[in-house]
Amino acid sequence: MNQPIIQYHNLGLKDYKEIWDYQETLFDRVLKQRDDNDDQSKVNHLIFVEHPHVYTLGKSGSENNLLIDYIQLQAKDANFYKINRGGDITYHGPGQLVGYPIIDLNAFKIGLKDYIHMLEEAIIISLKKYDIASSRLNGATGVWIDIDKPGKTRKICAIGVRSSHWVTMHGFALNVNTNLSYFSHINPCGFTDKSVTSIEKELGYKIDFDDSKMKVKESFKEIFGFNYME
Cα–Cα distance list, 44 to 39, 126, 133 (Å): 11, 21, 30
Which residue type is seen at 91? Answer: Y
Q: What is the pLDDT of residue 80?
A: 76
Question: Which residues make beta-bridge pairs with 159?
Answer: 172
Domain boundaries along the sequence of the chain: 5-228
Distance CA 109, CA 20 (A): 26
Neighbours of 204 (CB within 10 A): 6
* pTM for the whole structure: 0.88
* DSSP code, position 84: S
Q: What is the distance of C-alpha 65 from the center of its chain?
A: 19
Cα–Cα distance list, 121 to 72, 81, 201 (Å): 36, 28, 21
Which three-class secondary structure state does DSSP give residue 133? coil
Q: What is the pLDDT of residue 36?
A: 73
Distance CA 137, CA 141 (A): 7
189 is known as an active-site residue: yes
Q: What is the pLDDT of residue 37?
A: 65
The 3-state DSSP composition of the chain as helix, strand, coil percent (nearest 5) reads 35, 30, 35
Q: What is the pLDDT of residue 131?
A: 98
Distance CA 58, CA 86 (A): 5
Structurally, at CATH architecture level, domain 5-228 sits in: 2-Layer Sandwich (3.30)
Taking the chain (230 residues) in runs of 10, the rounded mean pLDDT of each run is 88 95 96 76 94 81 56 62 70 96 95 96 98 94 93 93 94 96 70 80 98 98 90
Q: What is the dihedral of CA 219, 220, 221, 224, to 10 degrees?
A: 130
Q: Which of 49, 189, 199, 223 is labelled catalytic?
A: 189
